[in-house]
A and B are shown apart, each in its own frame.
Chain A
C-alpha cells in the first residue's frame, strides 16, 4: 500500500493511513473482469441496487410505522394517505421486495447455468445462498408488519412449521410467538428482526464481494481467465453496463410501482388481521410459492417441513454434488437440457403453490417435487456420463475470426 499512487496529496495522505482509495481503485476500477460477460451478469449488481432501494425506503417507512397490533394496520393506511409521498415509499418498498427476488432468482439461475458454483467459487455460492435465506426471513417478517389478514395467517402458518419438530417444536413456536398465538409480542419482535436482518445481509454482501474478488468472476465460457488479454477493467466498461442495466430495471420496476402497484399483492391483506377468521385460501408471496408447493406435496407434517427446508439446504452442496469439471452449460449438451427442465419444474412448483391443494394440483405438485429432488443425483450421474464439447483455449480465442475455437488463441496467448 506504500508509494505514490494518487496525484491528489490529500487523497494520498488519507490512503497512507486508511487504504480506502487503494481498495476502491483495486476492486471497483482496475478490477480485471472477463471481457465476455453477457447481460445475465448484470443481475448481481441489480440485486445490490435493489438492496439499497429497500434500505432507503425502509428507513423512511420506519419513521412512520408503529409495531402494535392495535394500530399497525391503521398506521400503514396513514402512511398511504397522509404521509407526504408515503404511498410512493410503501409501493417502492413492497414491490421492491418482489424485484429484489426477481434479480436474485435470475442471478442464482445464471450461476446454475454457467456453473459459477464450482471450484474455486464454492464459498461464494454458499455465501450467496445465506444471503438468499436471510432475504426470505426478512421478506416474511416484513410482510407481517401491515397486520392484514395474510400477514397474520402467513405468520401463523409459517411459525407453525416449527411445531413439526418432535419434542422441542412447541417450545420453539411459543418462543417465536412470545405467547400462545401470533400477537403483539410477535409483531414487535418481527419488526426488530426485520430491521436487523438487512444489516446482516449487507455484511454478507460485503463478504460475497470479497470472495468474488478473490476467485474473480466466472464467465459465459466457464473457463479460467488466462491473462490480461482475456479481461478488461471494471471501470468504465462494466460500470457503464451495470448502469444501463439499472436503467432497464427501473423502467420495469417503476412501471409496476406507478401503474399496477398491487400486482404482486393479495387483496386479503387489505383486510385487518382477525385471529378468529382464516381466509379461505392462504398463500404466501410469490417468491415462496415453489417451497410452499413442496411443503404441501408431502402428506406428512414433519416430512413436508423437512422437504421444504431440504430443498434449499441441498443447494449448499451443489458444488460437490455436480461431478462435472466443465462449468458452462454451453459445453454440456445434456446438462443444458436438464437445466431448462429444472427451471420449468421450479415454475410448475410455483404455480402449484399458488393453487388450492385440490384434485390434479396435488398430483402435479408431487411429481414436480420428485423432479426437483431428482435433479441433484442426476447432476452427479451426468458429470460421469456426459461427453462435454471441446473447450476453447481462452476467452479471447473464440472471438478471433476465421479460426476454429481450438486454435485461434495462439497469437494472443503471449500478450
Chain B
C-alpha cells in the first residue's frame, strides 16, 4: 500500500493505512469463511447417522463350551469371544508386565475371567488374526496369529511379537445375564 501515488487519508507515521487494515480483515474473513464452507464437504465423508446407529450387538453365550471361541459382527468388524480354559487364564495372569509392549494386566481386559471379548482386528493394519477355529495357528503365545505381517497375541489378546503396536482392543460390553452379553 505504501507505493500508491497519494497517501490515503489516515496514514500512520510508519506508512500503514486503513486500507491495510481493511485488506487484512477482509482476507481473514475470507479464509475463515472458506474453511467453514469446506467443513460440510469434509464432514459428509464421516460416518452417517444410520451407520452410527448400528452400534450394539447382543450375543447368547450358552452354546459356547469351555475352550471354544465364536466370532460375531459388531459395527462391521469381527468381535472374538473366547471361553477360556483355566490353563489359558492362568497363562494370561502369569505374564510379567515388564515384558509386554503394551502393558495391561489380564484382569483389566476381562469382566469375567472365563470370557475374553476382543475386537478381532489386528492393531497393525487391520487384518483379522487367526486362532478362532480349532485348526487355526494361534502363534507361539497361544492366543491369535495375524497372517498378514506375523503379529502374535497371547491368551489375553495382548501383543507379544510382530509389528502390531497395541493389544487387541476390548470393546465396551455389558453382561445382561450370566450367559448373554451386549457389545457396544
Interface residues of A (CB under 8 A from B): 153, 156-157, 159-161, 163, 174-181, 183, 185, 189, 275-278, 280-282, 296, 299-302, 304, 357-358
Q: Which of A178, A183, A278 has the most CB of B within 10 A?
A: A278
Q: Let me know if A174 and B46 touch, CB within 8 A.
A: yes
Given contacts A161-B125, A357-B150, contact A275 B78 (CB under 8 A): yes
Inter-chain contacts of A174 with B (CB < 8 A): 46-47
CB closest chain-A residue, reference B120: A276
Q: Let me know if A301 and B163 touch, CB within 8 A.
A: yes
- B165 close to A (CB within 8 Å): yes
| Distance of A39 Cα from B1 Cα, bound (Å) | 56
Q: Let me know if A160 and B45 touch, CB within 8 A.
A: no
Q: Let me know if B77 and A156 touch, CB within 8 A.
A: no
- B127 close to A (CB within 8 Å): yes
5 residue pairs, one from A and one from B, having the closest CB atoms: A181-B76, A160-B126, A180-B75, A160-B125, A278-B128
Q: Let me know if B127 and A276 touch, CB within 8 A.
A: no
| Distance of A246 Cα from B122 Cα, bound (Å) | 46
Q: Let me know if A357 and B128 touch, CB within 8 A.
A: no
CB closest chain-A residue, reference B147: A280
CB distance from B40 to the nearest CB of A (A): 13
Q: Let me know if B127 and A185 touch, CB within 8 A.
A: no
| Distance of A301 Cα from B101 Cα, bound (Å) | 13
CB closest chain-A residue, reference B146: A278
Interface residues of B (CB under 8 A from A): 42, 45-48, 51, 71, 73, 75-78, 124-128, 130, 147-150, 163-165
Given contacts A178-B45, A296-B149, A299-B163, contact A276 B51 (CB under 8 A): no
Q: List 13 A-B contacts (CB under 8 A).
A: A157-B127, A174-B47, A175-B45, A176-B45, A180-B76, A275-B76, A278-B128, A278-B147, A280-B147, A296-B163, A299-B163, A301-B124, A301-B164
Q: A156-B125, A179-B76, A278-B128 are in contact. List 13 more A-B contacts (CB 8 A).
A: A175-B45, A176-B45, A178-B45, A179-B48, A180-B47, A180-B75, A181-B75, A276-B73, A278-B127, A278-B130, A296-B149, A301-B125, A357-B149
| Distance of A157 Cα from B150 Cα, bound (Å) | 14
Inter-chain contacts of B48 with A (CB < 8 A): 178-179, 185
CB distance from A293 to the nearest CB of B (A): 12
Cβ-defined partner of A358 (8 Å) among B76, B77, B124, B150:
B150
Count, A-B residue pairs, CB within 8 A: 79
Inter-chain contacts of A177 with B (CB < 8 A): 47
CB closest chain-A residue, reference B77: A181
CB closest chain-A residue, reference B162: A299
Cβ-defined partner of A304 (8 Å) among B78, B127, B147, B163:
B163
Q: Let me know if A282 and B127 touch, CB within 8 A.
A: yes
| Distance of A174 Cα from B163 Cα, bound (Å) | 22
Inter-chain contacts of B45 with A (CB < 8 A): 175-176, 178, 185, 189
| Distance of A163 Cα from B126 Cα, bound (Å) | 10
CB distance from A333 to the nearest CB of B (A): 41
Q: Which of B78, B148, B163 has the most CB of A within 10 A?
A: B148
| Distance of A357 Cα from B77 Cα, bound (Å) | 25
Given contacts A175-B42, A178-B51, A185-B48, contact A281 B147 (CB under 8 A): yes
Inter-chain contacts of B73 with A (CB < 8 A): 275-276
CB distance from A25 to the nearest CB of B (A): 41
| Distance of A301 Cα from B130 Cα, bound (Å) | 20
| Distance of A271 Cα from B54 Cα, bound (Å) | 27
| Distance of A175 Cα from B149 Cα, bound (Å) | 25
CB closest chain-A residue, reference B129: A278
Inter-chain contacts of B127 with A (CB < 8 A): 153, 156-157, 278, 282
Inter-chain contacts of A276 with B (CB < 8 A): 71, 73, 78, 128
| Distance of A183 Cα from B46 Cα, bound (Å) | 13
| Distance of A394 Cα from B148 Cα, bound (Å) | 55
CB distance from B19 to the nearest CB of A (A): 36
| Distance of A159 Cα from B148 Cα, bound (Å) | 15
CB distance from B69 to the nearest CB of A (A): 13
CB closest chain-A residue, reference B73: A276
Inter-chain contacts of B71 with A (CB < 8 A): 276
CB distance from B160 to the nearest CB of A (A): 14
Cβ-defined partner of B47 (8 Å) among A178, A282, A358:
A178
| Distance of A357 Cα from B147 Cα, bound (Å) | 9
CB closest chain-B residue, reference A159: B126
| Distance of A282 Cα from B122 Cα, bound (Å) | 14
